Amino acid sequence: MHILVDLDRTLAIYPPPSGQQIGPSVPKMLARVKQWLEEGTEVRIFTARVSSVGATTLEDALRRQDDIKQARVAIEAWCLEHLGCVLPITCCKDYSTIAIIDDIAVQIIPGTGERVDGAD
């Protein structure tokens, strides 16, 4: 069981200073992640930076793989600097996901299609 925490705009300020860099941490979110880790909860970085979706040609796919490798290196370095350890990095949720912490997610009441916040 694990928690997915979005990187950009949730755990780190976005946009970053440039390119593949990761922005400064969001202190309140960083403190939450550190607490979860201290409690023994598995936390994973959740980011589209490591997604290959959208590549339409072999050339695009190869270029995207290079971008993904660079992103992983940058994210791992950011984790070491801010958390003292490297967290798993993914762009996918799975059946072991117990929560997704994200700046754009909208929670729905299961089986109803109704938003938890009551908005339409």
The model's pTM is 0.89
DSSP 81: H
* End-to-end CA, the chain: 31
Mean pLDDT of 51-60: 84
DSSP 49: G
Residue 14, pLDDT above cutoff 80:
yes
Name the CATH superfamily, with its identifier, for domain 2-101: HAD superfamily/HAD-like (3.40.50.1000)
Rounded alpha-carbon distances, angstroms, from residue 16 to 8, 40, 41, 114: 9, 30, 28, 35
Mean pLDDT of 2-23: 89
Structure confidence at residue 109 (pLDDT): 94
Rounded Cα distance between 115 and 120, Å, is: 7
Structure confidence at residue 4 (pLDDT): 98
Give the domain ranges of the chain: 2-101
- What residues does 100 pair with on adjacent strands? 4
Residue 44, pLDDT above cutoff 80:
yes
